[in-house]
Amino acid sequence: MAEPRSQGPDFYCAEVLSGRTPVQVAVESDGVPGFHQPRPRWPVHIVVIPKRHVESLIALDASGTELLVEMVGVIREIAERIVAEHGGCRVIANLGDYQTNKHLRWHVVSDSTLM
């Protein structure tokens, strides 16, 4: 897999959505791809992002409801597959200082050490 070229404030727009860093897509809707993390922290590590820039969950206003519904649909499909194959998973969203990249995303992860 290609190494990320940018660690700027929005890696996902600059690299992934632009196609500069290729990713393996697991599930994709019209506005939300779910793809295998290029530098995974867990054996199973899928990232779900909006195709349009949204800085974080906190940055969403009432108009973000449809986006969240679409994201949860993609997350649910990915989580269902991971649970069937690995027995369990976690869905994680980082905020504030824990958010190293300023683009809304959810991590769907699985590892035997998480159980």
Q: How many CB atoms lie within 10 A of CB 61?
A: 6
- Note down pLDDT in tens along the chain; length 115 residues: 333 333 456 889 889 999 999 999 999 999 999 999 999 999 999 999 999 999 999 999 888 999 999 999 999 999 999 999 999 999 999 999 999 889 999 999 999 887 7
Evaluate if pTM is beyond 0.75.
yes
What's the CA gap between 31 and 93, in Å, rounded? Answer: 18
Residue ranges covered by each domain of the chain = 24-114
- 90 DSSP β-pair partners: 109
Count, residues in the chain = 115
Candidates 3.30.428.10, 3.90.1150.10, 3.30.830.10, 3.90.45.10; CATH matching 24-114: 3.30.428.10
What's the CA gap between 71 and 33, in Å, rounded? Answer: 9
What's the CA gap between 3 and 83, in Å, rounded? Answer: 28
